């Protein structure tokens, strides 16, 4: 993923993780692995853990500690009603932005239709 794509992903990652949690409860490594399987190979595990801490502090998820076979207990995150409302808002904003960006892309790719930009041919002998 290039730098521009990485920056764009940073802005959407919270909504993406909330979306993952809307399907099922999960812990940090599980979320990171799933995102990598979906093609987000450059996502650092630390990025996801920092984001999970942030959404926990904002009250978007409920957290339960479960014993782990290896190491300390793992935190399992479940989307709660505040998180679901935030996710709904994310999808609404995403749809709005995606529509506007597509309109802009379509206009940029289309041939010019504005006659004000096209110079009017001069007729020989015409005085300005």
Separation in Å, CA 72 to CA 5, 43, 68, 69, 75: 34, 23, 6, 8, 9
pLDDT at site 125 = 59
62 in any annotated domain: yes
CATH number of the domain residue 64 falls in: 1.10.10.10
Range of the domain at 36: 3-103
pLDDT at site 11 = 80
Q: How far is CA 103 from the centre of its chain?
A: 19
pLDDT at site 3 = 77
- Averaged over successive runs of 10 residues, the pLDDT of the chain (128 residues) comes to 75 94 96 93 89 98 94 95 97 92 82 60 58
pLDDT at site 17 = 97
The count of domains in the chain is: 1
Tokens of 11: 């802005």
């Amino acid at each position: 993923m290039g730098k521009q794509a990485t920056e764009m992903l940073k802005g959407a990652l919270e909504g993406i993780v909330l979306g993952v949690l809307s399907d099922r409860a999960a812990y940090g490594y599980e979320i990171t692995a799933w995102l990598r399987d979906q093609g987000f190979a450059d996502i650092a595990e630390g990025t996801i853990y920092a984001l999970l801490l942030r959404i926990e502090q904002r009250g978007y998820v409920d957290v339960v500690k479960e014993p782990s076979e290896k190491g300390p207990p793992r935190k399992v995150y479940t989307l709660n009603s505040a998180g679901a409302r935030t996710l709904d808002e994310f999808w609404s904003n995403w749809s709005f932005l995606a529509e506007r960006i597509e309109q802009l892309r379509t206009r940029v790719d289309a041939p010019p239709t504005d006659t004000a930009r096209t110079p009017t041919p001069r007729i020989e002998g015409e005085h300005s």
